Amino acid sequence: MDLRESFNNKGRLFVISGPSGAGKGTICGKVMERLGDTASLSVSATTRQPREGEVDGVNYYFLSKEEFEGRINNNGFLEYAEVYDHYYGTSRENVMDKLESGKDVFLEIDIQGAMQVKDSFPEAVFIFILPPSMEVLKARITGRNTDSEEVIDLRMSKAADEISYVEHYDYAVVNDDLETAIGDVMAIIRSEKIRTDFTGDELDEYISSFGDSIGNR
């Protein structure tokens, strides 16, 4: 395996958050398409009802409250949170298995969950997707038309609070133009994959191979 490949061979964990309507789902979907099978978007478990068109095991694993609480008690979640009165969580085993197989894993999760990952997995990369303005966010949430007026208001007031957490993240990506935002996320991933603090043994071996080749002249 060549040096470049060996750097890319290590799975990294990327955590993506942002207020509802900021576009993180769309960005994650496009980024996954571009990364192909080197990356995997973690499928969360939730106790909320499936929306129209959502498929169990694809969009979420839809669990009952009892099933979810059972998994909490078995330490089955890398993180979990209660969002809008429903549980959402990331399976610890799924994430660890994928990372070990060398895949990059992406978690599209809320801030409470992201802060838990930061505590237990500080080497993860934290990306926050920002809407260009509150007006644009409101228009996006209203235009989506899947939620009631009450839910929209709840999401807007929550968004204002959530945005203040951007400082806890490593990167802030403004989703004013989708292509630019996707490009920003791709650039973050690319850069994170070649950080010297994650290239590890391969870089050490490379350095010593240079020393050896000079010694052998």
Least Å distance, CB 81 to ligand 5GP, is 4
State yes or no: residue 79 binds ligand 5GP (CB under 6 A).
yes
Which stretch, 80-88, 93-101, 133-141, 181-189, contacts ligand 5GP (CB under 6 A)?
A: 80-88
Tokens of 101: 């197989």
Nearer to ligand 5GP, 10 or 92 (CB): 92
Q: List the strands of the sheet with 45-46, edge to edge.
A: 61-62, 45-46, 86-91, 77-83
Beta pairing, strands 39-41 & 171-174 = unpaired
Which residue is closest to ligand 5GP by CB? 113
104, 121 Cβ separation under 8 angstroms? no
User: Which of 21, 63, 99, 110 touches ligand 5GP (CB under 6 A)?
Assistant: 110
- Provide the angle, in degrees to the nearest 10, between the axes of the packed helices 134-144 and 149-163: 150
User: Which of 40, 44, 175, 199 touches ligand 5GP (CB under 6 A)?
Assistant: 44
Least Å distance, CB 46 to ligand 5GP, is 6
Which ranges constitute the DSSP H helices of 81-195? 92-100, 111-120, 134-144, 149-163, 178-193
Which residues contact ligand 5GP (rule: CB under 6 A)?
20, 44, 48, 79, 81, 83, 88-90, 108-110, 112-113
